[in-house]
A and B are shown apart, each in its own frame.
Chain A
Amino acid sequence: MASSAVQVIQRIIAAVFGGYVLAAAVSACLSYVMPMSRVEATLTGMLVSFLLYVAVVMWVFAVKSLKRMWWQLGSATVVFGALAVLLSPQLVQP
Chain B
Amino acid sequence: MKEGFRQSMGWLHTWAGLVVGWVLFFVFLTGTAGYFDAEIDRWMQPERPLAQAAMPADQALALSFERLAKNAPGAERWFVSLPGDREPDLMTFWQMPATADGKRGARGREQLDAATAEPVKARETGGGQLLYRMHYDLHYLPNVAAWWIVGVCSMLMFVAIISGIVVHRRIFADFFTFRPRKGQRSWLDAHNLLSVLALPFHIMITWSGLLFFVYLYMAPLLWTQYGFGEKVQQTFFDEASGRTEDRVARSGNAAPLVPLGPLLQQAQDRMGHSDIRSVDIYNPNDASARIIIRSFAQSPSRERFEIVFHGATGELLRVAKPHSVPVAIWQTLFGLHEGLFAGPVLRWLYFITGLIGTAMIGAGLTLWTAKRRAKIGETFGFRLVEVLNLGTIAGLPVAIATYFWANRLIPAGMAGRADWEAHIMFITWAVLLLHAALRRPLARGWIEQLWLAALACGLLPLVNALTTDRHLGISLPHGDWELAGFDLVMLAFGIGFAVVARYLARRQPRMAASRNFEPARQAGE
Q: A residues touching B (Cβ–Cβ < 8 Å)?
A: 7-8, 11, 24, 27-28, 31-32, 36-47, 49-51, 53-54, 57-58, 61-64, 84-85, 88-91
Contact = CB atoms under 8 A, between A and B. Distances in A.
A27 B329 contact: no
A88 B224 contact: yes
B224 A43 contact: no
B162 A42 contact: no
Contacts of A91: 223-224, 227
Nearest to B210: A50
A32 B221 CA distance: 10
B166 A58 contact: yes
Contacts of B239: 37-39
- With a 10 A CB-CB cut-off, give which of A47, A50, A57 has the most chain B CB atoms: A50
Interface stretch (B6-14, B124-132, B406-414): B6-14
A67 B504 CA distance: 50
A20 to B, nearest CB: 9
Interface of B: 1, 5, 8-9, 11-12, 155, 158-159, 162-163, 166, 207, 210-211, 214-215, 218, 220-228, 236, 239-240, 324-327, 329-330
A52 to B, nearest CB: 10
A84 B210 contact: no
Contact of B9 (A28, A31, A41, A61): A61
A38 B324 contact: no
Nearest to B156: A57
A40 B327 contact: yes
A7 B8 CA distance: 12
Nearest to B241: A39
Contacts of B9: 58, 61-62
A22 to B, nearest CB: 12
A84 B218 contact: no
Given A40-B324, A44-B326, A58-B9, A88 B210 contact: no
A24 B326 contact: no
Contact of B1 (A11, A27, A90): A11
5 contacts: A28-B225, A39-B239, A47-B211, A58-B159, A58-B166
A58 to B, nearest CB: 6
A19 B410 CA distance: 49
Contacts of A89: 224-225
Given A49-B218, A50-B207, A42 B225 contact: yes
Nearest to B324: A40
- With a 10 A CB-CB cut-off, give which of A7, A8, A61 has the most chain B CB atoms: A61
Contacts of B221: 24, 27-28, 31, 42, 45-46, 49
A90 B326 contact: no
B324 to A, nearest CB: 6
Contacts of A61: 1, 8-9, 11-12
Contacts of B11: 61
A39 B240 CA distance: 6
Contact of A84 (B8, B12, B224, B330): B224
Contacts of B159: 54, 57-58
Given A47-B211, A61-B8, A36 B324 contact: yes
- With a 10 A CB-CB cut-off, give which of A32, A39, A88 has the most chain B CB atoms: A39
Contacts of A62: 1, 5, 8-9
Contacts of A57: 12, 159
Contacts of A45: 218, 221
Nearest to A64: B1
B391 to A, nearest CB: 27
A82 to B, nearest CB: 12
Contacts of A42: 221-222, 225-226, 236
A57 B163 CA distance: 10
Nearest to B235: A39
B326 A27 contact: no
